[in-house]
Amino acid sequence: MTGTSNAAKATGPLAGVKILDLTHVLLGPLGTMICGDFGADIIKVESAEGDTLRATGIMRNPGMGAAFLQANRNKRSIVIDLKKPEGAAILRELIKDADIFVHSMRAAAVRRLGFSYDDVKAINPRLIYCAAIGFGTKGPHADRPAYDDIIQGEAGVIGAELALTGAPRFASSLIADKTVGLTVAYALMAALYAREKSGKGQAIEIPMFETMVQFSMMEHLAGMVFEPSQGPVGHMRIRGRRAFATRDGHVCILAYTDRHWRALFPVFGHPEFVADPRYVNAVERQKRMGELYDMIEKNVAQMSTEDCLAVMTKADIPCGKVNRIEDLIEEPHAKAVGLFQDIDHPSEGRIRNVRPAVEFSDTPAQLRTPAPRLGEHTRDVLREAGYADADVESLIAAGVVKAG
Question: What mean pLDDT is predicted for residues 316-327?
Answer: 95
User: At 3, is the pLDDT very low, low, confident or very high (cuts 50, 70, 90)?
Assistant: very low
What is the Cα–Cα distance from 404 to 201, expressed in whole angstroms? 33
The neighbouring-strand residues paired with 77 are 44
Q: Are 286 and 279 in contact (CB under 8 A)?
A: no
Report field, pTM of the whole predicted structure over 0.95:
no
What is the Cα–Cα distance from 312 to 217, expressed in whole angstroms? 31
> What is the reported pLDDT for 100?
98
* Residue 223 CB neighbours (<10 A): 13
Q: Is 130 helix (H, G, I), strand (E, B) or coil?
A: strand
Question: What mean pLDDT is predicted for residues 22-28?
Answer: 96
Taking alpha carbons only, the member of 134, 234, 119, 246 closest to residue 180 is: 134
Give 344's contacts (C-beta < 8 A, 6+ positions apart): 350, 351, 370
pLDDT, one tens digit per residue, over 285-297 is: 988 888 999 999 9
User: At 9, is the pLDDT very low, low, confident or very high (cuts 50, 70, 90)?
Assistant: confident
Q: Are 256 and 282 in contact (CB under 8 A)?
A: no
Give 153's contacts (C-beta < 8 A, 6+ positions apart): 159, 168
Lowest mean pLDDT among 132-146, 235-249, 287-301, 323-337: 235-249
Question: What mean pLDDT is predicted for residues 11-18?
Answer: 95
> What is the reported pLDDT for 167?
87
Burial level of 322, CB count in 10 A (0-12/13-18/19+)?
Answer: middle
Residue 267 has pLDDT above 80, yes or no: yes
Classify the phi-psi angles of 74: left when phi > 0, otherwise alpha if psi is within -120 to 50, otherwise beta. left
Residue 347 has pLDDT above 50, yes or no: yes
Of all residues in the chain, what percent carry a pLDDT higher than 90? 83
What is the Cα–Cα distance from 100 to 1, expressed in whole angstroms? 10
> What is the reported pLDDT for 321?
96
ω into residue 228 within 30 of 0, thus cis? yes
More confident residue, 74 or 161: 74
> What is the reported pLDDT for 159?
87
Question: What mean pLDDT is predicted for residues 346-362?
Answer: 95
User: At 1, is the pLDDT very low, low, confident or very high (cuts 50, 70, 90)?
Assistant: very low
> What is the reported pLDDT for 6?
45
What is the Cα–Cα distance from 151 to 296, expressed in whole angstroms? 35
pLDDT, one tens digit per residue, over 164-186 is: 778 898 988 999 999 999 999 99
Residue 203 has pLDDT above 80, yes or no: yes
Domains and CATH numbers, the chain: 7-216+338-402 (3.40.50.10540), 244-321 (3.30.1540.10)
